[in-house]
């Protein structure tokens, strides 16, 4: 399967181009571990991210979205596939063309780990409780040789101010801060190297709903101020609609749908996306009776032993015989918005054109707090 452009590709448009990404983990079974099985956490995933945009990657827990993010930052070395990063002509480490991060060895990754950073889900476990805030943020600057001496403290103070924290708190330990403040520290650490791309893995899911909107607004302000590009990984579609330009949906290691955010929310083309959207809270009391929750039968497929054909067919209420026999490719279909304009829409469903699926009611506004 080829990569999935957001629109016809043009020179310089792509910051990241993920092509046919696979990440398989081995599982030993049987007497003495003689039988080797593969858990296909990521199975032939392709997408692109344009500079300055936010791409949302959504799906149920265990669908492989976090593994995709960790492959991009090279916490994992992919089993196969390409992660083409456009470092830019001004980058002294490259010749100006895209670099395949999947093929680089650890020493070669250093300059790119400055440009691609990650925000982790849990601010309680991602900060070392034995280090002060200054030490946590300064460590990144020291390791990358970006500041030293008096300049180091000034840089840390500036980063804390940028994320809405008081610099005089830099000598405190993480336990002295609330969950929202800890996540701001995590964001400050991610910004320390002045990155271009940030992989935000469930960046607000561990936070209290009362402060989720504050952190989301901070991320949007930083994006406008610094020209950041986000890969925003989440399971909460309320959050995704609030912050993302485009959305890709994963199920058991595969992409099943990818589209502009508005098109996907109002006119989903895959039954799995429809089921996810049905769980989004409806705030308008007049609209609640028109939207009923779709409860999927059965369990999520085992990535070590997936079903034949479409992985979703055992749970799909629209499934036909073909679905169990033939795996649907991720293909473009024609979708037009309210103004009649066409937008790129990709779906992995044999019968996408014939289905009339329910999206989120246009009149209802989704709150990023989930209220």
Residue 226's CATH number: 3.40.50.300
Helical packing angle, 133-143 and 150-162, nearest 10°: 110
Higher-confidence position of 336 and 174: 174
Is 83 among the domain residues? yes
Is 170 among the domain residues? yes
Q: What is the pLDDT of residue 44?
A: 95
- The percent of residues in the chain predicted with pLDDT above 90, rounded, is 63
Give the total number of structural domains in the chain: 1
pLDDT-derived band at 288 (thresholds 50, 70, 90) equals low
**Of 292, 276, 269, which is closest to residue 350 (Cα–Cα)?**
269
In the predicted model, what is the mean pLDDT of the chain?
86
Q: What is the pLDDT of residue 363?
A: 42
pLDDT-derived band at 358 (thresholds 50, 70, 90) equals confident
**Contact between residue 235 and residue 66 where contact means Cβ atoms under 8 Å apart:** no
Burial of 340 (0-12, 13-18, 19+ CB in 10 A): exposed
Is 86 among the domain residues? yes
Could you give the CA distance from residue 95 to residue 87 in angstroms, rounded to a whole number?
A: 9
Give me the half-sphere count of Cα atoms (radius 13 Å) on the Cβ side of residue 85. Answer: 26
Is the model's pTM score more than 0.85? yes
Q: What is the pLDDT of residue 70?
A: 96
Higher-confidence position of 241 and 245: 245
Q: Would you say residue 155 has pLDDT above 50?
A: yes
Is 220 among the domain residues? yes
Q: What is the pLDDT of residue 6?
A: 35
Higher-confidence position of 125 and 365: 125
Continuous H helices in the chain: 65-72, 106-115, 133-143, 150-162, 179-191, 209-226, 237-243, 261-266, 271-278, 321-325
Q: Which domain holds residue 216?
A: 16-354
Q: What is the pLDDT of residue 251?
A: 96
Is 126 among the domain residues? yes
Is 366 among the domain residues? no
Is 9 among the domain residues? no
Is 3 among the domain residues? no
Average pLDDT, integer, range 308-330: 95
């Amino acid at each position: 399967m080829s990569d999935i452009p957001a629109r016809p590709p043009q020179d310089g448009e792509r910051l990241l181009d993920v092509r046919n990404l696979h990440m398989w983990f081995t599982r030993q079974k049987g007497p003495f571990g003689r039988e080797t099985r593969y858990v296909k956490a990521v199975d032939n995933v392709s997408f692109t991210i344009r500079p300055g945009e936010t791409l949302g990657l959504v799906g149920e827990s265990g669908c492989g979205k976090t593994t995709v993010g960790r492959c991009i930052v090279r916490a994992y070395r992919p089993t196969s596939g390409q992660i083409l990063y456009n470092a830019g002509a001004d980058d002294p480490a490259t010749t100006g063309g895209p670099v395949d991060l999947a093929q680089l060895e650890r020493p070669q990754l250093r300059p790119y780990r400055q440009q691609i950073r990650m925000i982790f889900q849990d601010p309680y476990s991602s900060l070392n409780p034995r280090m002060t805030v200054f030490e946590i943020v300064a460590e990144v600057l020291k390791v990358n040789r970006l500041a030293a001496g008096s300049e180091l403290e000034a840089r840390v103070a500036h980063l804390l101010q940028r994320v809405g924290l008081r610099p005089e708190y830099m000598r405190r330990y993480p336990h002295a801060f609330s969950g929202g403040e800890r996540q701001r520290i995590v964001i400050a650490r991610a910004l320390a190297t002045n990155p271009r791309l940030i992989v935000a893995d469930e960046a607000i899911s561990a936070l209290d709903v009362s402060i989720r909107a504050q952190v989301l607004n901070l991320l949007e302000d930083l994006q406008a101020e610094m020209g950041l590009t986000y890969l925003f990984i989440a399971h909460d579609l309320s959050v995704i609609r609030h912050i993302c330009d485009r959305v890709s949906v994963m199920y058991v290691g595969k992409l099943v749908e990818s589209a502009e955010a508005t098109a996907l929310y109002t006119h989903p083309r895959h039954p799995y996306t429809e089921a996810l959207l049905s769980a989004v809270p409806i705030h308008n009391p007049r609209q609640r009776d028109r939207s009923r929750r779709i409860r999927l039968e059965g369990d999520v497929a085992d990535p070590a032993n997936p079903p034949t054909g479409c992985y979703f067919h055992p749970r799909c209420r629209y499934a036909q015989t073909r679905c169990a026999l033939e795996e649907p490719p991720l293909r473009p279909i024609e979708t037009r918005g309210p103004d009649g304009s066409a937008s790129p829409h990709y779906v992995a469903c044999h019968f996408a054109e014939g289905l009339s699926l329910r999206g989120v009611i246009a009149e209802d506004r989704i709150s990023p707090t989930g209220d």
